[in-house]
Chains A and B, each alone.
Chain A
Amino acid sequence: MSEVKNIHQPKADNQTEDKSKTEKLDTNYWRSFKDLFRDTSLIEASNHEFGDGVKDDFEPSKLSGISRRKFLALVGASAALAGAGCSDYRSKGDIIPYNKMPEEITVGKANYYASTSTACSHGCGVLIKTREGRPIKVDGNPDHPVSKGKTCAKCQASILSLYDPERLKFPMRKSRNGGFLKSTWQHVDDEIINALNKIGNKQIAFVSQRIISPTGKKVLDDFVKQYPNTKIYSYELFDEQIRNSAWQKCYGINKFPLISWDKAKVILGLETDFLGTDGNKVETSRLYTQGREVNNLKKFNRLYVAESTLSVTGMNSDYRFRLRPDAQFEFVMCLLNEINKNGISVPGSLPLGGYSLKSFAGKYSLSLKNLKQLVKDLASAKGESVIYAGRTLPENVHIAVNLLNEALGNTALYRTDSIDVDVLPLLKHEEIKELVNDMNAGNVGMIIHYDSNPVFHFPDDLGYKDALKKVPVVVSITGSQNDSSELGNYTLPLSHDFESWGDAKTRTGFYSFQQPVIDPIFSTRQKEAILLTWLKGKPVVFDEMVYHKYLMNNWQNNLYPTFNTKMTFTEFWNAGLHDGIAILEEEPDSFGSFNSSALSELQNAVKASSKYIVVLRESYQAGDGKFLNNGWLLELPHPVSKITWDNYAAVSHNTAKDLGIKSNDMIAIRVGDRKLEIPAFIQPGTADKTITIELGFGRKVVGIVGTGVGFNANVLRSKSAGISPWIYLANNVSKSGSSYHLVATMEHHMFGEALTKDAAQKRKIIQEGTVKEYQKDAHFLNTENPVKMESLYNPHEYPGVKWGMAVDLNKCVGCGDCVVACNAENNIPIVGKDQVAVSREMQWLRVDRYYSGSIDDPVTSNQIMLCQQCDNAPCENVCPVAATTHSPDGLNQMIYNRCVGTRYCSNNCPYKVRRFNFFNYRDHFKDNYQQSHLLSLVYNPEVTVRSRGVMEKCTFCIQRIMEARSNAIEEHRPLKGSDVRTACQDACNTEAIKFGDMNDKDSEFYKKYRTHELGYYVLEDVNTRPNVTYIAKLRNIESEEV
């Protein structure tokens, strides 16, 4: 068998002066520095069952002796106490059937409601699964034209916020001593309406995040009509304003077009994480991976990324360049110069001669060979390539990128069928300053925080927080108490998305609908209903249907007529609610021709500095801070660093050396007169003198889950933008002396790498190759003849359906959305940072991330790892109570009631995918947070909630299999593999996960994935006969070398 070799051995490069001594290091797969440098502590730790800090020593000889009499006395006393305790049994109530059965409910059957998620401003279409009236799971709506049945991790996790025990349950008003008192809607409505009527000529300011609802916007318009002094300020922590502004200067319309990522042969991403947090990743990652189809190599794209710190997009690149963000402009100008030299004319008359790619490569220690390959690819893929700049880069870079795309004819990949729509344009960054000036001047009579948290989001030096003190009435409409509501007079509880009516318009060509799948659980209202009540102008009795009627009226009178449909309005409305969308024929605005006058902006470009540069990014886990109380997201390992429950300052190992720090050391960063102390983390692949921090952490006012989680890097932002509102040059960075404990899962559940050097390679856990190699020899992996071991047992026959999974590693981007979906589907508990620290995270599915190559320029491989449902499962043989057994359809099952918690199975599992409940995490985590009655409503009733002392693991969503089987029996037909979709498969944006019947030789699953020549099984040589097939990743690099 040919040995699998590393395809990315870093080469000595003549143009690279110093590739550092890491060049000499071993370049095989590694997960962390401890792994790479064969740290003895890691090898020592692998000899112990438990992680550091877990006291598991048990020495019977050290136990104190006990007499027989004492023993019997203790038993007697225990029995007496138990008897007395149990005599206090209180009835939990009777279980009685429905007196009047709701029409929609069939007990035991799920209902699905199409709706729109407002977890972020992309407004993805969702299908909300409800059981006996309570929402339990969110999946994508397959009819939605953009999200096409997929969702991101935040959308999946948004259901946890519905059942957050710390949700606001009633209105509150501030007392004289500064605390909040419970109030009633009648009372607060009366007081606020009175205040509105007395507002005089003072301004009423709404501070909102992006508004995507056309009818919600109409409510605001009505409010402005009644109170003409009203101004709406809408903002986002991260927005597309710089990209749009550059586009307007170049093409005349203020909206960057959508891109046909699926048609691009060459993609260059500049400081952008379009597969992670930059833009609509649900759509972008789907389209991007359509160009990574191993069965269609002609369309196989090539991804180049130039970025400061490794991102999800960088992890998936074929070629990656480490580059500080302030060098991006020079990089694009060098590319323009090079393509110009290749005979491609560049519009305008820019002096490009001063930009040399060769000297640029030398200056930033980049591989000139790879840069030349990039130029060659861009020139040869004219009209079929995309250069895409990140939204945080300054405007001149975007204009230069627009010019480069124009010169290469790449405008052909800008979509003309649809474009993003702004129902209400976002505030310009400068306009916030005007609001604060008005507040300070006493011109603002009332501020309404309209489901927003500007005190946390706005830069501190803007002075918004202090200016709030000069506003007489501050009202916060919010789902839970936050940094802004804490400073207001009134806090009004907001209904969750799933309790609210609404509509959304995010693109041309369709509208989407939002419908409440459950009546408000508490005394909450949706924000539009609150405003409509106030608009009555006098204290009124609240009409629960007020916004529903308003929404229907607006649709009937204004929007429905634009559809020109033959359906009556009632039919149209019901069909729209059923489908979640209404398709409309609409022409998007077209963009004009390139305006060369925009190039004048390029004259004032700032040159790259040699100072430390701070890059602020959006968090994968906490978003803009909205999800900082969501345990599913906080416990999701960061896709790159694998750190949970924290943010950190990512630095390169050279920077760490310069600063004299190591991971976990606190560093002080000073930008202007602003300062932040935050733990450092040495992230391979980071540009030197660059410090990258994710925002969204460190909220001061947040629930019990998010309290003390992370550091607020917003304090480094300034009202006067640096290089951009998210990129700043630091005055000083220094070691602060103290240290912190960052918790990462990167060394958890390793495949014995600690003991066996290069296990991932030698044991063929990760197998990959290049496109060229595959073209030359489709069977280059040579997986057909693994070491055959004689089995000691007769093989089992699986005559019916036999379940299997396939994971296409060419499509898996390593985002971790599947992990959150699995949590939601299978009632997996949150364990908390302290338990993750000792390797006790409970997630059934993990994404193993391996680096290979050098520390400076690592190549990344992702592999999702879950129970392989082995035919010869080693866990089954060692269970003393037969709690884990095999099913006739090939599943390795767990019988929780039998499990006595010996953990032999986990010890014997070569894949390390079994999880043990060391505690009852429902009462162990954060003061019984998960024990709450409210949070219990999120549980899937088809999945047992496990308690302390029980082993668990992936079941291939057995409950879904059973439901499909039941449906098949009901319909008198055989069960098919395609009847079942697992939760991780449903959530995967890129369709990297396939599931089906391995015995159905005619199925797509069998023909296309199970028997694929790139398919392999992890640790096949130990004869476990796993049922998860991995399709080996192909790197689209020029070299054929392996």
Chain B
Amino acid sequence: MELENLFSKKLKRKSFFTSLGAGLAGYVAMRSFPFRLLYGRSNEDKSENKIKVKINPLAISRNKTGGNNV
């Protein structure tokens, strides 16, 4: 009896595709939603993302514990 009830309540094809379509639309909407706007504003410049650290080749390094030369 219960099994019969279950089959009688089965999803119709049209509703199935409507639900699937809505799900897909929701997924696409989530992927393309600009979540970035919800993040805190960053005060950093885009140029900061390109920071390159370069040693000055003419500087003379030393061992901290090393003696002096003069």
Interface positions of A (Cβ within 8 A of B): 81, 84-85, 87-88, 102, 104-105, 110-114, 127, 129-130, 132-134, 143, 165-166, 169, 515-519, 521-522, 548, 572, 574-579, 581-583, 704, 923, 927-929, 931-934, 937
Within 8 A of A (CB), among B1-43: 27, 30-31, 35, 40-43
Residue of A nearest to B64 (CB): A112
B30 touches A928 (CB 8 A): no
Q: Which of B31, B43, B51, B70 gathers most chain A CB within 10 Å?
A: B70
B60 touches A583 (CB 8 A): no
Interface positions of B (Cβ within 8 A of A): 27, 30-31, 35, 40-45, 47-49, 51-56, 58-64, 68-70
Residue of B nearest to A933 (CB): B48
With A104-B55, A112-B62, A515-B56 as given contacts, are A933 and B49 in contact (CB-CB < 8 Å)?
yes
With A169-B45, A575-B70, A578-B68 as given contacts, are A928 and B62 in contact (CB-CB < 8 Å)?
no
A85 touches B70 (CB 8 A): no
Q: Which of B35, B55, B64 gathers most chain A CB within 10 Å?
A: B55
CA distance A87 to B63 in the complex (A): 47
A127 touches B64 (CB 8 A): yes
Q: Which residues of A contact B64 (CB under 8 A)?
A: 110, 112, 127, 129
The 5 lowest CB-CB distance pairs between A and B, nearest first, are A575-B69, A577-B60, A579-B68, A519-B54, A111-B61
Residue of B nearest to A131 (CB): B53
A169 touches B61 (CB 8 A): no
B51 touches A933 (CB 8 A): yes
CA distance A521 to B60 in the complex (A): 19
With A576-B70, A582-B70 as given contacts, are A113 and B59 in contact (CB-CB < 8 Å)?
yes
CA distance A928 to B69 in the complex (A): 45
CA distance A214 to B48 in the complex (A): 35
CA distance A701 to B48 in the complex (A): 22
A517 touches B55 (CB 8 A): yes
Q: Which residues of B contact A576 (CB under 8 A)?
A: 70
Q: Which residues of B contact A169 (CB under 8 A)?
A: 45, 47
B31 touches A84 (CB 8 A): yes
Task: Provide 11 A-B residue pairs closer than 8 Å at the C-beta atoms, listed in order of the A residue.
Answer: A84-B30, A87-B31, A111-B61, A111-B62, A112-B63, A113-B60, A519-B55, A579-B69, A704-B43, A933-B48, A937-B53
A579 touches B70 (CB 8 A): yes
Apart from A129-B64, A928-B43, what are 18 other A-B pairs with CB-CB below 8 Å? A111-B61, A113-B62, A165-B45, A165-B48, A169-B45, A515-B56, A518-B56, A519-B56, A521-B51, A574-B69, A578-B69, A579-B62, A579-B68, A582-B70, A928-B40, A928-B42, A931-B44, A932-B44
B59 touches A515 (CB 8 A): yes
Residue of B nearest to A515 (CB): B59
Q: Which of B44, B52, B58 contacts A165 (CB 8 A)?
A: B44
B54 shortest CB reach to chain A, Å = 4
B35 shortest CB reach to chain A, Å = 7
A1005 shortest CB reach to chain B, Å = 18
Which label, helix, strand, loop or mixed, suits the secondary structure of the B interface?
loop
Q: Which of A110, A130, A934 contacts B44 (CB 8 A)?
A: A934
Q: Which of A114, A522, A931 contacts B42 (CB 8 A)?
A: A931
A88 touches B56 (CB 8 A): no
B55 touches A165 (CB 8 A): no
A97 shortest CB reach to chain B, Å = 16
Q: Which residues of A contact B31 (CB under 8 A)?
A: 84, 87-88
Q: Which residues of B contact A130 (CB under 8 A)?
A: 55, 61
Q: Which residues of B contact A518 (CB under 8 A)?
A: 53-56
A657 shortest CB reach to chain B, Å = 45
A927 touches B70 (CB 8 A): no
CA distance A113 to B63 in the complex (A): 8
CA distance A999 to B41 in the complex (A): 53
A522 touches B47 (CB 8 A): yes
With A932-B43, A933-B49 as given contacts, are A517 and B59 in contact (CB-CB < 8 Å)?
yes
Q: Which residues of A contact B44 (CB under 8 A)?
A: 165, 928, 931-934
Q: Which residues of A contact B43 (CB under 8 A)?
A: 165-166, 704, 927-929, 932
B66 shortest CB reach to chain A, Å = 8
Q: Which residues of B contact A104 (CB under 8 A)?
A: 55, 61
Q: Which residues of B contact A933 (CB under 8 A)?
A: 44, 48-49, 51
Q: Which of B42, B51, B56 contacts A517 (CB 8 A)?
A: B56
Q: Which of A81, A574, A579 gathers most chain B CB within 10 Å?
A: A579
Q: Which residues of B contact A934 (CB under 8 A)?
A: 44, 48, 51
Q: Which residues of A contact B47 (CB under 8 A)?
A: 169, 522
Q: Which residues of B contact A114 (CB under 8 A)?
A: 62
CA distance A85 to B59 in the complex (A): 47
Residue of A nearest to B55 (CB): A133
A977 shortest CB reach to chain B, Å = 16
